[in-house]
Chain A
Amino acid sequence: MLLAFVTLTPFLGAILPLLAIRFGRNTCALAAGAVTLTALVLLMSQAPAVYDGEVITWGVPWLPMIGMSFSFFLDGLGLFFAALILGMGLLIILYARYYLGSEDPMGLFYFYLLLFQGAMVGIVLSDNILLLIVFWELTSLTSFLLIGYWSDQAASRQGARMALVVTGAGGLALIGGMLLLGHIAGSYEISEILQRGDVIRSSPLLLPTLLLILGGAFTKSAQFPFHFWLPHAMAAPTPVSAYLHSATMVKAGLFLLARFWPVFASTDAWFLIVAPVGLITMLIGAWIALFRDDLKALLAYSTVSHLGLTTMLLGMATPLAAIAAVFHILNHATFKAALFMSAGIVDHEAGTRDIRKLGGLLTLMPITATLAFIASASMAGIPLFNGFLSKEMMLEEASHTVYAGYPWIFPVLATLAALVSAAYSYRFAISTFLGKPRDDYPKKPHDPPVGMWLPVAILIVPVIAIGILPALTAGAIVERTALAVVGGQLPEYKLALWHGVTPALWMSVIALAGGALLFTAYRQAEALHRVFAGPEAKRLYDAAIAALVSGARAFTDATHNGSLPRYAGIILTAIVAVGATAFLSAPYAAGTREVIPVEFPALAAWVVLAAICVALLFWHRERLLALVLTSGVGLITSLAFLEFSAPDLALTQISVDIVTTILLLLALNLLPKTSRGEAPLAGRLGRSTLSAAVGLGVGALAYAIITRDFQSISDYHLAEAKPGGGGTNVVNVILVDFRGFDTFGEIIVLGIAAITIFALLDTALRGAAAKTLESIRSPEQSKDAHPLMLVVATRVLLPLALTVAVFIFLRGHNQPGGGFIAGLIVAVALIMQYLASGYAWAAERTSVDTQTVIGAGVAIAGLAGLGSLFFGWPFLTSTYTYVELPLIGEIELASAIAFDLGVFLAVVGVVMLSLAQISRVEERAEHEPVPEGPMDVPLKKGRIVSSNGQES
């Protein structure tokens, strides 16, 4: 429980600085410091137990189905890193208080910093590797925010982006590796995985797992060839650089290597990959660092080099090397953070951190200079400072490492790296602080306020203390941590200043002396560096990103060409491909359901349908004909519903068909009557093939489904329709009762569609659309706009149709019918009036607004549903009763009929609104005044006005 609090405290506390900034910058820094201190105290309360050899665990399941849990464990390694992160965090918070300018939003800075801190602590304390990944990604995100803190600077943004891309890509690799690891080990808890090294090492998936995990670790810890992002991240404020790039984020990769050391270190692949990558990184980092003029860039590449050193030690896979690695992590964190902060102070006070513009600062800022000198000496590996000790241990290990049969590779290259490392350390200290004071510094340098150099001084204490009395000051820490890394007994070793005259001592002497020589011959070395300047990794990265962007753009341009058929074609092809793959990769057997014998009428209908389909393919450009043919398909669909025991569907389908056909006819009146242009043969062939494939697939799927038996859930509906819903038409009972909520939603959707149609067409009467309307000339106008027969027939039929609708509506609960069908019938009857007598005539006689009808329908259905609430039943519960009416006898009244009435009104409203709106637009296109309908019999002075407007 406590461990979870250690991790969560920075996250929860991150909000405090944001609030505290209102009370001033000191309060803000104090708040951030208090949060970090709380976490540190909580952590340290567990330290005694850990140092007694206990491993503290705590966890709760999170997503048990995928093996994820919110679990933490604390051993020597976790404690070491967590203490480093939190302790260093305190110093950084203090330093940043004085470093940040008054224009920098300090609350936000501490907010990001604490989030980052929490994520880092989460990484080192997580027991579950999936949880670890979550924190791992969080460090990538929060470090992005921190590096890009000065977001108004292009360099900051670019550095942040690069760090995110590289570490994010590594994070992806790590996810893959962790999933594989958990899969092999059969557990996602690190404490379990560490026990199952044998299982993991004997798995055939070992190599891919290892490579993926190393991908994550190497990107995070800036190992070659991913080392290039770290120096660019130096665009961040110096406290961020000091924190992320000395003690924490870049160490996360090392932590991962150390954490899984017991599992992987004894494999050949580990030694063969990790050790040389570390060695190369150490050498390259040092070489580049030597020639950087920017103090922070120098330190950044130096960090890369030291990370390589530690990686190499872990890669050597011996317990002694692991001890050296732990020791060096500790030492590097102290002297490198001190150096970063010193560089920040120089930048802050002198106004530049370009070595060429500096020099002679010793007398101007003596405190800073002294501190930086000590830290540099440690970095160079000069005795009496802690950097010397771990470097010596490294050289000792390198001296007897045989790689691929060559005993000289590691000792020679490691000594060379140490030599270059000494050279850049001299350069950092001497070129900045020694020499004559200059008079052209951008600012007048002097020592900073105490708050700024105090953190550096605090870090220098262990640099010297460990350097002189290593066993006393760091012995316990190194032992406990190394025990956790190795996961077993430690061999004999001694942390001491003097080991006697060993090969390592000679290598150290060579490195220090050679480094001095190299520094004095800096000009010649620089010339050499220019000649042998290799390809810069950043340029490769930029080229890769540019290629990615232009590739993506080319792909978009090729696919996103604005052609709807192409988009639809791509989607359909993908669907066909997926379906075909699934079909081909699975066994298939014919269905066993008993087949209904073919009847002649059905066969005839099928033949007609096939003929229509073929005709449509050939004549679809004649739009009117296409419409007629389509309505034929609708008709046969209705017949099919009728044949296969779905009378309600047949009724609905045929009424909808009528309405749809009228609608499309109206639209076609304004649209072009034929499709122009024929697609090229290749296009037609492609379309035909794709259509045939889709049709074949859908048909085959349908056949496969309907020739198999299945378990339906409809028995419940059939059994409960009468006793529960009070109706014998089960389809209608389902619509208005069992699944009434669906229906309610559906009429709302219909209503919205109708309102959208209204909005689209109402505004079409203005602007560009209106101009087009004016210009439309219908080539053929019927001389008889309102044929007498039609007018008479529709008006006679209207009351009949309405009566039928009422009948259909009322009987719907027990017999085929209901609100949907009745609504469609009424709509059709009314639309016929528009068709026969014209929009103007019909609109004049319509006293009810269709939008009101829709609204009323939805409202009635909703109220009918709400009614049941008054009786304490859930929404849309229906009830029914029988009432005795004189003359008619007993009739059944179901509350669902009110709901059905709402459906009815909504359907009428929707259909009428859609069709009437199109008619209204059409009317605008009619340039000649619409003649009065004949049947109004406007007997003007005894004369009948005929349909074509001529008096007769």
Chain B
Amino acid sequence: MELLVASAIGLITAVGVYLILQQWTFPIVVGLTLLSYAVNIFLFAAGRLAVNQPPILTGADAYADPLPQALVLTAIVISFGMTALIVVLALRGFLETETDSADIPPDDLKADKR
């Protein structure tokens, strides 16, 4: 199972990175979403994998590590906040410039360097 989870993390990361390296904003947002998934599973897995041991106190012998779970829970919600913010940024950028390219327009770049 460990191998499955680790390779899944690797796969999702690879696709996420591939999308982040695109030129348009929407694939980048999707790529970030995928990266959030990968990172969240990664953090969660840092508490090691356990089957049928939810950290709900029932008198069992062993429980899964609750701390990474708590951290990842907030991370998932924060990821939503981040995705929402960035997609709105992309949207606003598109509405302002009528293009959804993520590159700095050449004119602006020249103005920067002056």
Given contact pairs A616-B15, A641-B44, A729-B56, A664 touches B87 in the complex (Cβ within 8 A):
yes
A754 touches B95 (CB 8 A): no
The 8 Å CB contact of A598, one of B4, B47, B104, is B4
Counting CB contacts under 8 A, is A667 at the interface? Answer: yes
Please report which residues of chain A, range 291-322, place their CB below 8 angstroms from some CB of chain B when the two chains form the complex.
Answer: none
6 example contacts (A-B, Cβ-Cβ < 8 A) are as follows A646-B44, A649-B44, A667-B91, A672-B94, A742-B74, A907-B77
Beyond the given pairs A675-B23, A728-B58, 17 more chain A to chain B contacts, judged by CB atoms under 8 angstroms and listed by A's residue number, are: A609-B11, A630-B33, A644-B49, A644-B50, A652-B73, A663-B87, A664-B30, A667-B26, A671-B25, A691-B18, A702-B45, A706-B45, A706-B46, A718-B55, A731-B70, A757-B85, A764-B91
Contact with B along A759-772 (1 / 0, CB 8 A): 01100100011101
B91 to chain A, nearest CB (A): 5
B42 touches A712 (CB 8 A): no
* Cα separation A598 to B3 with both chains bound (whole Å): 9
Counting CB contacts under 8 A, is A563 at the interface? Answer: yes
Which B residues touch A742, using CB under 8 A? 74
Which A residues touch B19, using CB under 8 A? 616, 620
B90 touches A667 (CB 8 A): yes
Contact with A along B79-104 (1 / 0, CB 8 A): 11111110111111011101010111
The 8 Å CB contact of A816, one of B3, B54, B85, is B54
B84 touches A663 (CB 8 A): yes
The 8 Å CB contact of A640, one of B5, B57, B76, is B5
Given contact pairs A630-B34, A695-B17, A718-B66, A753 touches B81 in the complex (Cβ within 8 A):
yes
In this complex, the interface size class of chain A, counting residues with CB under 8 Å from chain B, is 35 or more
* Cα separation A29 to B24 with both chains bound (whole Å): 66
B93 to chain A, nearest CB (A): 9
Binding site for A on B (CB under 8 A): 1-15, 17-30, 33-34, 37-38, 40-42, 44-58, 63-67, 69-70, 72-74, 76-85, 87-92, 94-96, 98, 100, 102-106, 108-109, 113
B23 to chain A, nearest CB (A): 6
CB closest residue in chain B, given A599: B1
A670 touches B91 (CB 8 A): yes
The 8 Å CB contact of B28, one of A564, A703, A907, is A564
Which B residues touch A640, using CB under 8 A? 5, 8, 41
* Cα separation A844 to B66 with both chains bound (whole Å): 43
A675 touches B55 (CB 8 A): no
B21 touches A691 (CB 8 A): yes
A728 touches B56 (CB 8 A): yes
Which B residues touch A676, using CB under 8 A? 24
A656 to chain B, nearest CB (A): 5
B4 to chain A, nearest CB (A): 5
B95 touches A698 (CB 8 A): no
A760 touches B88 (CB 8 A): yes
* Cα separation A362 to B56 with both chains bound (whole Å): 101
CB closest residue in chain A, given B110: A562
B42 to chain A, nearest CB (A): 5
* Cα separation A644 to B58 with both chains bound (whole Å): 17
A606 touches B4 (CB 8 A): yes
Query: What are the 4 tightest A-B residue pairs by CB atom distance, in nearest-first order?
Result: A699-B10, A695-B14, A562-B104, A703-B6
Most buried by A among B52, B69, B104: B69
* Cα separation A756 to B85 with both chains bound (whole Å): 7
Which B residues touch A722, using CB under 8 A? 57
Which B residues touch A656, using CB under 8 A? 76-77, 79-80
Which A residues touch B17, using CB under 8 A? 572, 690-691, 694-695
A794 to chain B, nearest CB (A): 21
Please report which residues of chain A, range 102-152, place their CB below 8 angstroms from some CB of chain B when the two chains form the complex.
Answer: none
Counting CB contacts under 8 A, is A267 at the interface? Answer: no
The 8 Å CB contact of A768, one of B33, B45, B76, B95, is B95
